[in-house]
Amino acid sequence: MNAPESEEPPLLRRAVCPGSFDPVTNGHLDIIARASRLYDVVHVAVMINKSKQGLFTVDERIDLLREVTAEYGNVEVESFHGLLVDFCKDRGIPAIVKGLRAVSDFDYELQMAQMNNGLSGVETLFVPTNPTYSFLSSSLVKEVAAWGGDVSHLVPPAVLDALTERLARG
């Protein structure tokens, strides 16, 4: 005899990749893609930082992230304001996935992971960054692009177009 089918909907395994994403780089995308293969749903949470003016607005960053993650099929992009643990609690997310580029990232990331775990029990999983992108950050991409350097191998084509257009405006 077959076991009775459960009435409960299947529990989706969720994780969040948080960040500023001003703009999303190939390094971010590598981590999001890898998380999307490990979890049923990956939430990409774009932090709203009212005290810091970005090159792109939060809505522009979200549009770019949606465009470049569409192919993964299980990535949801949203903004958030306030504590990351509250974003997680509201959506039933038990895990934060972060990329570690180098030892220099570790100190601060460890502090945040321990604080977040102490606040709400949420776990942080560190993924070693692909060495191709270990030097990469949104800030460096913006700086190099602003001085006319080639960043086409560091960001997705949609981001390159947006950067070119934004920097041409001055």
Query: Which are the catalytic amino acids?
Result: 28, 52, 101, 138
Tokens of 138: 């949104």
**Binding annotation:** 20-21, 28, 52, 84, 98-101, 109, 133-139
Beta partners for residue 45, in sequence order: 18, 78
Contacts 24+ apart (CB under 8 A), 147-156: 153/26, 154/25, 154/26, 154/27, 155/23, 155/24, 155/25, 155/26, 156/24, 156/26, 156/29, 156/64, 156/68
Q: Which stretch binds ligand PNS (CB under 6 A): 13-21, 31-39, 67-75, 144-152?
A: 13-21
124 is a site residue for ligand PNS (CB under 6 A): no
Residue 20 touching ligand PNS (CB under 6 A): yes
> Applying CB under 6 A, which part among 4-12, 34-42, 55-63, 111-119 lies near ligand PNS?
111-119
Q: Does 115 bind ligand PNS (CB under 6 A)?
A: yes
| Residue whose Cβ sits closest to ligand PNS | 19
19 or 156: CB nearest ligand PNS: 19
**Contact assessment for residue 44 and residue 71, using Cβ atoms and an 8 Å cutoff:** no
Interface residue with ligand PNS among 18, 23, 99, 156 (CB under 6 A) is 18
With 0-12 / 13-18 / 19 or more C-beta atoms within 10 angstroms meaning exposed / middle / buried, residue 141 is buried
| Tokens linked to 158 | 């949609």
Which residues contact ligand PNS by CB under 6 A?
A: 18-20, 47, 83-84, 112, 115-116
